[in-house]
Structure 1
Amino acid sequence: MPTISTFYGILIQMFWNDHAPPHFHALYAEHEVLIDIRTLESVEGEMPRRALALILEWAQEHRAELMEDWELCARNQQPNKIHPLV
């Protein structure tokens, strides 16, 4: 599973040929959450509140790039790296 961004100890990843809806995986310590790219809602998993806030802030800034990466992964192509939250 490619890591497309890393910030504040949070890894953002996508699977190739993953199930709908378009989403990404965010990992922080022992926590993992799946975030729907279209709605920025948590689809599955749990995350500490502060980490989730950072993830959602980053995703809001990069939603178009996340959708592009989703399309690349759907075609089994390497997704692009996305700038971290600063």
Structure 2
Amino acid sequence: MPTIEDFGSFKIYMYFGDHNPPHIHVVGPDFSAKIRIEDADLFAGDLPGKIARQARAYVGAHKERLMTIWQEFNG
């Protein structure tokens, strides 16, 4: 489970051999969620508002890079 980005209060991970749709995992000390790469929509779990905004903005700004990593890890 490679760490893609570390924001201090939470990390963004991507798992090897993960299921579709292409997504990232946002994990903090007392929360976790999945955000689709395609549209930066939260589709599983729950995040505090500020962290959700920050993680979704990150996905939106790095969509191409994240999709490249997804293809590398998940084919």
1:21 is matched with 21
- Percent identity reads 28
Paired amino acid for 2:72: L
- Ranges of 4+ aligned residues in structure 1 off by more than 6 Å: none
1:28 touches 1:51 (CA, 8 Å); kept in 2? no
Tell me the distance in 2 between the aligned counterparts of 1:63 and 1:51: 18
Tell me the distance in 2 between the aligned counterparts of 1:22 and 1:38: 7
Paired amino acid for 1:71: Q
Quick check: which one's helix share is greater? 2
Residues 1-86 of structure 1 aligned to structure 2 (within 5 Å): 1-75=1-75
Per the normalisation by structure 2, the TM-score is 0.93
Higher relative contact order (CA 8 A, sep 6+): 1
Paired amino acid for 2:74: A
Tell me the distance in 2 between the aligned counterparts of 1:4 and 1:50: 19
Deviation at 1:29, TM superposition (A): 1.7
Paired amino acid for 2:43: V
1:83 is matched with none
Per the normalisation by structure 1, the TM-score is 0.82
Tell me the distance in 1 between the aligned counterparts of 2:42 and 2:60: 13
* Structure 1 gaps, min length 5: 76-86
